[in-house]
Structure 1
Amino acid sequence: MVQNPREEMNNKTMNRYQWFVIGICVLLNVIDGFDVLVMAFTASSVSAEWGLTGSQLGALLSAGLFGMGAGSLFLAPWADKIGRRPLILLCLMISGISMIAAAFVQSATQLGIMRFITGLGIGGILASSNVIASEYASSRWRSLAVSLQSTGYAIGATIGGMIAIALISNFGWRSVFLAGGLTTLVMFFVAIFTLPESLDYLLVKQPKNALSRINQLCQRIGLQQIKQLPHVTINANQPKMGIAKLFTAGLGLQTLLLWFSFFFVMFGFYFVMSWTPKILSANGMTTEQGVTAGVLISAGGMFGAALIGLISARVRIFYVQAAFLALTAMLILLFVNSTGALTIAFVLSIFLGVLSNGCVAGLYAMSPSIYEAGVRATGVGSAIGFGRIGGILSPLVAGAFLDSGISSLTLYGYYAGAFVLAIITVLSLSKLQKKYAVELNFQNSTVQS
């Protein structure tokens, strides 16, 4: 029987090189966190320079999200064909160049186009770096590895906001895009020299020089080197790549449940992140106090992703995710009733950030376990892309509800319901995934024997 390095890595203690690769994935997400929110940082300055209406500014804010959704859906699947590393390098180049170009645009339309292109690159990076973090971790620490990778987004957003304030006050809003683009290109060169290809991809797809590349990685990871490539069974009736492959071999219902889990969580998460400062201000807080609450939610997010990962090292990630979702729904209702007590509201803001961001990190940790290596980037990317639809719709639906006269308390209750619906999809997915894993292991053991 041919030795399988993947199985050996699943059961061994993780070494420094594995954590180093996960650290590179965290840095990729830090860059993405800054690039995603750069439009929010510069919105007021951009609007003032060109005299934009609220709808025009809203379109600019949405352009990047649309691009991210498209990148996750249409670029990320190529990581299963050409490799995780080449796609990340390509997407870093796309994001970096378009960010620099955004610093020299002369109209809102041009800026919107550049934001969409930047979003395309970010969508591809998010899905692929998430998969690499998962594939370089052992079974026990996989959820923590992916959750740590997710903290990069909150770190990038927090640090980026502070940098943006300094740059705008001294050099104007264009300098923020220029700094973000140059930093992304620096990360491109860092990734060229430090980011390896996925071991899972090399084992399954077996590109040119796969054996020597696998053995080089085995040496770094501390695995036994192999003398020949493992046999890969290819079903000629299955699609070669693309989303259609996610609905074959019993994966269809799991894929749909994962998509709707992302949709519900992103729908609730983006409401909390987008509307909280404004709603708190409208309910008795000052504008500064509302913004402070929003910042505290983001700050709490840096801890939420790590927390869910640590707990998942001991408890099945699906159950931890369901618990975080339930606590988030309850905390949302407590939070909206705390506006009369400023200290309590700020404390609850931190905990809301911990839990809501933990829910997002939990989704990223869950999703790689659903799919085999050959379709993993496609599966993760499509789920993220479907979730972005919820993120895009969320602020629009909230605005429509508020315009119709619904109270903020009622509105928060509706959005808490999105997290409750996510509990149902996550627990259903857990049951299906466990059953599918048992069947797959039985088939593999039959083939090997």
Structure 2
Amino acid sequence: MDLRIKIADSPMSGYQWLVVSLAVLLNILDGFDVLAIAFTAKSISNELNLQATHIGTLMSAGFIGMALGSFFLSPFADKFGRRPLLIISTALAALGMLMTYFCSSLESIAFWRIVTGVGVGGILPCTNVIVSEYANKKWRGLAIAIYAAGFGIGATLGGMSAILLQETYGWRSVFLTGAILTGLALSAIIIFLPESVDYLLSKRPKNALQTLNKIAIKINKPGEWHLISETPPQQKVSVLRLFERDNIKTTLLIWLSFIGVMSSFYFVSSWTPALLESTGMSKTHSQSVGMAISLGGTVGSLIFGFIVSRWSAKSTLILFTLLSALAVMLFVHSSALSVALGLAILVGALMNGCITGLYTINPTLYDADYRSTGVGTAIGIGRLGSILSPFLAGNLLQIGWTKENLYFTTAFIMLAVSFTLFLLQPKNN
């Protein structure tokens, strides 16, 4: 009897929803930790007398770390387990946030933003895979959508805390808050989070059967669960497997899709508050629009999750990319605050819905024994877009580009992604 089949076909237990909730919590903190710099950028710039290119560098530093973490740490999840890597990665994120609190120079902030990003980059592929594995077929799309919505919630909390804390305690208090919350989350996953069932079955570490049966009892699926008697051939965990004949087309297409969506989303979420403030909008109003994008992201993830319970994830994702391009073009022409807020919610909803769609499709593309490697590498490669877009935007502004130029380019990228997704063929949906 295969516990994976039982999980896929049986109703969700309370413990399975607890696993999803822990992943959601981590993604909330990822959103808080990553985008804290966007809401504190102006204050940091004023204190350290930084230019637009410097702020772009700080925004990109966290994304560089995320790319490094996703790309280089995810293979360790397939080798040593999802749970150990999650613990290590969460500890790194907490350390990076804490040390940013003590920073007083551009270089030191950039370094600790990279460390924070490495931690977040190690968290994302593990939580994405664990949610996909512990959710049943019926609720998998919604579970991943709730998980993905956490990022927007965290970003919204980051914006709210920035507004509430900066005036009284300064920008450093935002990072201290993130460090404390991430440390508490670390304690929770050490106590409650189980190992991946697919990892136990495919890699069979020491005491795998005992661990498997303990998990089965916790998720209310007790029974005579066994490892298969014949040892399966073990292939080395390597990114080179993603370029085998059967995988290369899928790998390149999902990479391009991630790069396009991530570059668009992180440009909009990172630069919008600063761009609006530079064109005359007050700090409070510009940050409110930034939070509206994050709030919309939360709503969009959930909407995507409900839609994919009825329709194909791929078709829904293509629709979201097309609508994202349209929404961005409308947003750039908004002038009244009320209109800007409404369109910001729409842009955030559609773009974060795209990220949810990629998270939903991504784990279906790879077999269990190298799934974290495939998922993590795709996310890591996608971070190239999130790294380059804030930095590139700062440099383009420096040479005379307008915000309209930047947003129209973003819309074009989302249109290109829709074509890339059309060519992608998930193995199962």
Task: Judge which range, 211-220 or 52-61, deviates more.
Answer: 52-61
2:117 aligned with 1:119: yes
2:323 paired residue number = 327
2:380 paired residue number = 385
One-letter amino acid matched to 2:86: I
One-letter amino acid matched to 1:24: L
1:264 touches 1:418 (CA, 8 Å); kept in 2?
yes
One-letter amino acid matched to 1:102: T
How far did residue 266 of structure 1 move? 1.2
Q: Give 5+ residue unaligned stretches, structure 2.
A: none
Paired residues for 1:158-197 under 5 Å? 158-197=156-195
Residues 73-115 of structure 1, C-alpha deviation per residue, up to 9 Å, x if partnerless? 0012211111111000011111222322222234332222111
2:339 aligned with 1:344: yes
Residues 360-410 of structure 1, C-alpha deviation per residue, up to 9 Å, x if partnerless? 111111111111111111111111111111112223444555556566545
One-letter amino acid matched to 2:240: A
Counterparts of 1:314 and 1:51, CA distance in 2: 52
1:143 touches 1:366 (CA, 8 Å); kept in 2?
no
Counterparts of 2:222 and 2:244, CA distance in 1: 33
2:81 touches 2:199 (CA, 8 Å); kept in 1?
yes
Residues 289-334 of structure 1, C-alpha deviation per residue, up to 9 Å, x if partnerless? 4443332222111101111011111212111111111111122222
> Structure 1 residues 355 and 233, CA, compared in 2 at 3 Å: closer, same or farther?
farther
Pick one of 4, 17, 27 that aligns with 2:2: 4
1:205 paired residue number = 203
2:291 aligned with 1:312: no
The alignment's C-alpha RMSD in Å is: 2.4
One-letter amino acid matched to 2:303: L
2:366 paired residue number = 371
Counterparts of 1:287 and 1:105, CA distance in 2: 24
Residues 231-285 of structure 1, C-alpha deviation per residue, up to 9 Å, x if partnerless? 566446x4x1121122236112111111101011112222322344455567786
Counterparts of 1:34 and 1:371, CA distance in 2: 29
2:300 touches 2:353 (CA, 8 Å); kept in 1?
yes
Paired residues for 1:397-436 under 5 Å? 397-399=392-394, 401=396, 408-409=403-404, 411-430=406-425, 433-434=426-427
1:5 touches 1:224 (CA, 8 Å); kept in 2?
no
Paired residues for 1:37-76 under 5 Å? 37-76=35-74
2:262 paired residue number = 266
Counterparts of 1:283 and 1:43, CA distance in 2: 16
TM-score (norm 2): 0.92
2:89 aligned with 1:91: yes
Task: Judge which range, 404-413 or 261-270, deviates more.
Answer: 404-413
1:441 paired residue number = none
How far did residue 209 of structure 1 move? 0.9
2:24 paired residue number = 26
One-letter amino acid matched to 2:372: A
Paired residues for 1:138-153 under 5 Å? 138-153=136-151
One-letter amino acid matched to 1:195: L
Q: Give 5+ residue unaligned stretches, structure 1.
A: 439-449
Paired residues for 1:345-360 under 5 Å? 345-360=340-355
Q: For 2:424, what is the secondary structure of its paired residue?
A: helix
2:231 aligned with 1:254: no
Counterparts of 2:407 and 2:184, CA distance in 1: 41
Counterparts of 2:272 and 2:181, CA distance in 1: 30
Counterparts of 1:149 and 1:20, CA distance in 2: 12
> Structure 1 residues 284 and 190, CA, compared in 2 at 3 Å: closer, same or farther?
closer
> Structure 1 residues 394 and 107, CA, compared in 2 at 3 Å: closer, same or farther?
closer
Q: For 1:14, what is the secondary structure of its paired residue?
A: coil
Higher relative contact order (CA 8 A, sep 6+): 2
> Structure 1 residues 333 and 119, CA, compared in 2 at 3 Å: closer, same or farther?
same
Q: For 1:264, what is the secondary structure of its paired residue?
A: helix
2:76 touches 2:85 (CA, 8 Å); kept in 1?
yes
1:150 touches 1:361 (CA, 8 Å); kept in 2?
yes
> Structure 1 residues 161 and 76, CA, compared in 2 at 3 Å: closer, same or farther?
same
2:53 touches 2:391 (CA, 8 Å); kept in 1?
no
Pick one of 135, 140, 155 that aligns with 1:137: 135
Pick one of 346, 352, 356 that aligns with 1:361: 356
Counterparts of 1:281 and 1:186, CA distance in 2: 34
How far did residue 201 of structure 1 move? 1.0
Identity %: 43
Q: For 2:321, what is the secondary structure of its paired residue?
A: helix
Counterparts of 2:212 and 2:41, CA distance in 1: 47
Q: For 1:329, what is the secondary structure of its paired residue?
A: helix
One-letter amino acid matched to 1:261: S
> Structure 1 residues 176 and 290, CA, compared in 2 at 3 Å: closer, same or farther?
closer
One-letter amino acid matched to 1:244: L
> Structure 1 residues 53 and 410, CA, compared in 2 at 3 Å: closer, same or farther?
closer
Task: Judge which range, 93-102 or 398-407, deviates more.
Answer: 398-407
2:238 paired residue number = 242
1:443 paired residue number = none
How far did residue 214 of structure 1 move? 0.8
